[in-house]
């Protein structure tokens, strides 16, 4: 969800104003996903690298997350949204961790939209943790080395049980993966859009879906 800072700078506003507007775009995007019958939506809200931003901005972002968890969960629950979080949540304050756990438990019976928010997430850290967990299972004797194939390994990732993304959308003209779902996005289609995240809305969501619908997906196989 790139471009919050640039959106604010263009208006001579502090970066937090861009992040606040970005939170509104999150709401619009969730609504658009529901309208378009998209069943799985993952939002990259905070990367492991984002902790390196100035302390004041990190505080603003975690404050926004706290506010979101307190004020939006009832609406998610009412709209049939199931919330999950991937990433190293232990780096957040204990009250945020508790609110995240409550939000996940309180929406766990929903299935209209599976909303995953990547928070303090980095794909390399995720893959490393999965490798460590697989090695520990081998050491404990619960997993044989020969059993460790792609499907079994995927079960050690934080996205275990979730489908791989079909489409990855990146806003604000950036054309990088930036440590996002490196394993899971192996065969994803990519759509890069110039729109800054705070301006993102239903029309952009629809345009990305239309673009995706035109792609011919071969998953490495030869065309028929």
The answer to whether residue 68 forms part of the interface with ligand FPP (CB under 6 A) is yes
Q: Which stretch binds ligand FPP (CB under 6 A): 20-28, 81-89, 187-195, 206-214?
A: 20-28
The answer to whether residue 113 forms part of the interface with ligand FPP (CB under 6 A) is no
Residues 27-66, mask of contacts with ligand FPP (x by CB under 6 A): ----------------x-x----x----------x--xx-
Contact (CB, 8 A) for 87 and 121: yes
Nearest to 129 by CA among 89, 164, 170, 97: 89
The answer to whether residue 76 forms part of the interface with ligand FPP (CB under 6 A) is no
Question: How far is the C-alpha of 155 from the C-alpha of 137, rounded, in Å?
Answer: 12
- Least Cβ distance, residue 4 to ligand FPP (angstroms): 4
Is 2 marked active-site?
A: yes
Could you say which of 1, 30, 32, 185 contacts ligand FPP (CB under 6 A)?
Answer: 1
Choosing from 4, 36, 37, 50, the catalytic residue is 50
Long-range contact list for 51-60, CB < 8 A, 24+ apart? 51/91, 51/120, 57/15, 57/16, 60/15, 60/16, 60/19
CB atoms within 10 A of CB 80: 13
The answer to whether residue 100 forms part of the interface with ligand FPP (CB under 6 A) is no
The answer to whether residue 19 forms part of the interface with ligand FPP (CB under 6 A) is yes
Give strand pairing partners of 189. Answer: 167
Both tokens of 190, joined, read 């990519």
- Least Cβ distance, residue 81 to ligand FPP (angstroms): 12
Question: Alpha carbon of 10 to those of 6, 18, 90, 173: distances in Å?
Answer: 6, 10, 35, 16
Nearest to 41 by CA among 65, 53, 25: 25
Which residue lies nearer to ligand FPP by CB, 165 or 198?
A: 198
Question: How far is the C-alpha of 206 from the C-alpha of 201, rounded, in Å?
Answer: 9
Question: How far is the C-alpha of 189 from the C-alpha of 4, rounded, in Å?
Answer: 24
Residues 186-215, mask of contacts with ligand FPP (x by CB under 6 A): -----------x------------------
The answer to whether residue 4 forms part of the interface with ligand FPP (CB under 6 A) is yes
Q: What residues are labeled active site?
A: 2, 50
List interacting residues with ligand FPP (CB under 6 A): 1-6, 19, 22-23, 26, 43, 45, 50, 61, 64-65, 68, 117, 172, 197
């Amino acid at each position: 969800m790139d471009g919050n800072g640039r959106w604010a700078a263009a208006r001579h506003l502090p970066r937090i104003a861009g992040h606040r507007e970005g939170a509104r775009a999150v709401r619009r995007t969730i609504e658009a996903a529901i309208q378009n019958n998209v069943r799985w939506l993952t939002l990259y809200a905070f990367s492991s690298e984002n902790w390196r931003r100035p302390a004041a901005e990190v505080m603003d972002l975690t404050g926004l997350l706290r506010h979101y968890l307190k004020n939006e969960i009832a609406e998610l629950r009412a709209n049939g949204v199931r919330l999950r979080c991937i990433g190293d949540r232990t780096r957040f304050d204990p009250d945020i961790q508790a609110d995240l756990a409550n939000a996940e438990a309180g929406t766990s019976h929903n299935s209209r939209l599976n909303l995953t928010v990547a928070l303090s997430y980095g794909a390399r850290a995720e893959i490393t943790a999965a490798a460590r967990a697989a090695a520990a299972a081998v050491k404990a004797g619960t997993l044989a080395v020969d059993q460790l194939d792609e499907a079994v390994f995927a079960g050690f990732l934080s996205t275990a049980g979730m489908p791989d993304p079909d489409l990855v959308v990146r806003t604000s003209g950036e054309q990088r993966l930036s440590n996002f779902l490196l394993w899971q996005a192996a065969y994803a289609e990519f759509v890069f859009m110039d729109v800054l995240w705070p301006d993102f809305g239903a029309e952009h969501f629809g345009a990305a879906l239309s673009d995706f619908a035109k792609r011919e997906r071969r998953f490495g196989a030869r065309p028929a």
